[in-house]
Structure 1
Amino acid sequence: MTLYTYTALDKKGKTKKGTQEADSPRLLRQTLRSEGLAPVDVEPARVKQESATTRRSLFTRKASVSEIAMITRQLATLVAAAIPIEECLQALSQQVSKPHLQAMIKGIRARVLEGHTLSDALASYPSSFDQLYCAMVAAGEKSGHLEVILERLADYSEQRQQIRSKMTQAMIYPIVLTVVAIGVVGALLTTVVPTVIDQFKFAGQKLPPMTQALIAASEFVSSYGLWLVAGIMLALVVRQRLLKKESRRLLNDKFNLKLPVFGAVFSGVETARFARTLSILTSSTVPLVEAMSISSGVLGNRYIRQKMLAASDRVREGGALWTALENSGLFPPMMLHIIASGERSGELPNMLERAANAQDRLFEDQVNIALGIFGPVMIVLMAGMVLFIVMAILTPMMDLNSLVG
């Protein structure tokens, strides 16, 4: 069967487009007529690899991490039932309800029917299936344990989604709290304070230094507040443009690792991701050097990626894995001891996973501690600012009342 794209009209005259498999265009037209559609155009679907432009397009919807985990889990169940891979993909395309997932799975099945391996077909959609995913599927196809590899990939995708959700939640709370604090203080300085201060100026009263400082802050925010916000947004846009150059991006990633507190968190997340990915690949019979190269490719920090590629070169030259990682200066001693123990005992995949789990727990503890400290600190700072504004207003009012008395 061949995958076709069609354009048809329904009973109300509305245009409907889609993709469907059929033995020939004539049979597809008959099928469409039986469904109450009037076929206008039927042609073979062109299954092409995604280009870099397609991957970066804002209007191209790609499969999310959770969707990939769901598809992988369902595919593993079908493969474990000894069903041919093209039939598994056909059943999977009928199972999913979202159009972009249906189109992707049908495209993968079309390439499999053309004689490509599943890993090659998945590689046609790099925005959804990265190098790690395709390499593991290829290893599963060669070893004959594809269903086991798919289960591991589903677990990995779900774990990655959980870590991403934790990082997002950890970032949302302080950002929202900071924006609310700045908004409240800004509103007080631009609306409440000028009205009250005008009364003092009208009375010709000599104002204390605290009140004069508040007046200066209010006038600055009223005059330059919007310009300040626009300048910050412009600086962020310019920074984003500058970071498009690879050399600047590398320096920025290196600088991020030197930030107090945040640098350790960034480094911990990346080393845990590297160890977990390397564990999955080595347990899937992928050679260590090749596994290190693939694991480096999934890292977001370019400086750490460069260090890991250098470590893979040392392993290729005959060095031990834990020694190569130690020379990078990125892995904590505990992780290095666990990895060294795995190399000596011949249980490297299990020890790598254990090291990644330990690093993930450390990351969660750091995030919880940081959030536990940040919340009260922001509340105290906000209360201090409001107290300063109130005291700056009340002090001249009390002085004025004493004079009147």
Structure 2
Amino acid sequence: MAAFEYKALTKQGAQKKGVIEADSARHARSQLREQQLMPLDIQPVTTKEAKNHQGFSFFKQKVSVAELALITRQIATLVAAGIPIEESLKAVGQQCEKARLASLVMAVRSRVVEGYSLADSMAEFPHVFDDLYRAMVASGEKSGHLEVVLNRLADYTERRQQLKSKLTQAMIYPITLTLVAIGVISILLVAVVPEVVGQFEHMGQELPTATRILISASDFVQNYGVFLLGFVLIFAVLMQRLLQRPQLKMKYHRTLLKMPVVGKVTKGLNTARFARTLSILSASSVPLLEGMRIACDVLQNVRVREAVEEATARVREGTSLGAALGNTKLFPPMMLYMIASGEKSGQLEQMLERAADNQDNEFEANVNIALGVFEPMLVVSMAAVVLFIVLAILQPILALNNMISG
């Protein structure tokens, strides 16, 4: 059976949406008519998901990390209670508040009912269940400890959500401060400065340099402000398109790693993610080389990903994991020491988890330091601009007073 998402009309003329399992679209329409519903539109969930994934990124409906963690935890709880996987998926699908989540879970269930494994069923939706997720599910199915693996996956996704929330909360204040600073300065240049400084232009006296600069800046913003904003937007879109080219993206990511503060934060984020991913894969009995390959896919920086791929090749040739990662010159010494210690003691899984915890803590500390530096610099810069505007306005006033008193 397959899962179909439908739109239908009730006897009263109200529109109803939902998910139904049937052998074909024709069978689905027949079932809906038996329920006294008039079918309007019926689509296989897999087809609809593919169309949604191919759409423009701004309009895509995405499954959030929190939603994925929730359904993972629910499936793990039901499987641990001894309920068959297909029944667990059906129960979770019926409990989902969002129609898209429900249809997604029911589509996975329909594949399981047809005889596919859970991991293979999830492979129909790679934009929701990534390589890491499917590899862990597959290992859980093979080992017979699916509920343990699913709980570990839920912990991992919840940890990702917590980290993302912390970053979002940390960025709210500096972003708001930046927007307010730009808005205040723009209002001063467009509305306030022309009214005040314009009074001095017919004095017949030469205006101070600062005042002339301020008038020029005000005229530029008034005449070309809209064009400047359009240029910034076009430049941002153009840069996004250019960064899709592998060579330019590599150069950009190399540059990020070399920057004083941003480089440290970028390294911390990627190395922490690599260690965390590899630790949960190792704990799920995924082979080391396969785990490193999957961990590469979760890295955002292309340069770090390339370095880890080179390290994977060295491990395949017989080099230890610690030595291979050490050759990349990107991983911190403490992490390398803990990995090497775990390899020698046979506790690589535990040491990777501790290394990931340390990197997460260090990453949060680096972000706090970066924001701690940025915020006062922004305040000082804004204060300097406002001070310049005030002085540029006061100078001709003081000059006029001197003329009158003289």
TM-score by length of 1: 0.92
8 Å Cα contact 1:296/1:305 also seen in 2: yes
Q: Deviations over 1:135-183 (max 9, x none)?
A: 0000000011111100110010011112222233333332322222122
Separation (CA, whole Å) in 1 of partners of 2:23 and 2:388? 78
8 Å Cα contact 1:7/1:40 also seen in 2: yes
Separation (CA, whole Å) in 1 of partners of 2:28 and 2:235? 59
Deviation at 1:375, TM superposition (A): 1.9
Deviation at 1:200, TM superposition (A): 1.0
Q: Which residue of 2 aligns with 1:355?
A: 355
Deviation at 1:2, TM superposition (A): 6.0
Separation (CA, whole Å) in 1 of partners of 2:31 and 2:185? 68
Q: Which of the residues 53, 57, 60 maps onto 2:55?
A: 57
Q: Which residue of 2 aligns with 1:93?
A: 93
Mean CA deviation greater in 161-170 or 312-321: 161-170
Q: Deviations over 1:87-140 (max 9, x none)?
A: 101111111111001100110000001100000001111111000000000000
Distance 1:81 1:397, change over 3 A: same
Q: Which residue of 2 aligns with 1:215?
A: 215
Distance 1:179 1:43, change over 3 A: closer
Q: Which residue of 1 aligns with 2:373?
A: 373
Deviation at 1:3, TM superposition (A): 4.1
Runs of 5+ consecutive residues of structure 2 not aligned to the other structure: none
Distance 1:201 1:5, change over 3 A: closer
Separation (CA, whole Å) in 1 of partners of 2:221 and 2:31? 70
Distance 1:230 1:5, change over 3 A: closer
Aligned alpha-carbon RMSD (Å): 2.4
**1:4-403 counterparts in 2 under 5 A?**
4=4, 6-21=6-21, 37-40=36-39, 45=44, 47=46, 51=50, 54-58=52-56, 59-403=59-403
Separation (CA, whole Å) in 2 of partners of 1:5 and 1:218? 57
8 Å Cα contact 1:33/1:39 also seen in 2: no
Separation (CA, whole Å) in 1 of partners of 2:179 and 2:274? 34
Separation (CA, whole Å) in 2 of partners of 1:382 and 1:3? 57
TM-score by length of 2: 0.92
Report the secondary structure of 1:294's partner residue: helix
8 Å Cα contact 1:72/1:154 also seen in 2: yes
Mean CA deviation greater in 207-216 or 71-80: 207-216
Amino acid in structure 1 at the alignment position of 2:188? L
Separation (CA, whole Å) in 1 of partners of 2:2 and 2:269? 44
Distance 1:138 1:159, change over 3 A: same
8 Å Cα contact 2:52/2:61 also seen in 1: no
8 Å Cα contact 1:49/1:124 also seen in 2: no
Distance 1:55 1:383, change over 3 A: same
Separation (CA, whole Å) in 2 of partners of 1:374 and 1:4? 51
Q: Deviations over 1:182-226 (max 9, x none)?
A: 221121112211112221112223322222222222223223322
Distance 1:16 1:386, change over 3 A: same
Distance 1:135 1:388, change over 3 A: same
Deviation at 1:392, TM superposition (A): 1.4
Amino acid in structure 1 at the alignment position of 2:120? D
Separation (CA, whole Å) in 2 of partners of 1:268 and 1:233? 30
Deviation at 1:316, TM superposition (A): 0.8
Distance 1:200 1:98, change over 3 A: same
Mean CA deviation greater in 329-338 or 232-241: 232-241
Report the secondary structure of 2:62's partner residue: coil
Deviation at 1:312, TM superposition (A): 0.8
Mean CA deviation greater in 90-99 or 11-20: 11-20
Separation (CA, whole Å) in 2 of partners of 1:44 and 1:191? 55
Aligned residues: 402
Separation (CA, whole Å) in 1 of partners of 2:376 and 2:307? 38
Separation (CA, whole Å) in 1 of partners of 2:316 and 2:27? 57
Amino acid in structure 1 at the alignment position of 2:299? L
Separation (CA, whole Å) in 1 of partners of 2:28 and 2:188? 71
Separation (CA, whole Å) in 1 of partners of 2:5 and 2:174? 48
Percentage identity across paired residues of the two chains: 52
Report the secondary structure of 2:18's partner residue: strand
Runs of 5+ consecutive residues of structure 1 not aligned to the other structure: none
8 Å Cα contact 2:72/2:153 also seen in 1: yes
Report the secondary structure of 1:142's partner residue: helix
Separation (CA, whole Å) in 2 of partners of 1:7 and 1:383? 58
Distance 1:332 1:194, change over 3 A: same
8 Å Cα contact 2:189/2:217 also seen in 1: yes
Deviation at 1:240, TM superposition (A): 1.4
Report the secondary structure of 1:257's partner residue: helix
Deviation at 1:60, TM superposition (A): 4.1
Q: Which residue of 1 aligns with 2:404?
A: 404
Mean CA deviation greater in 247-256 or 234-243: 247-256
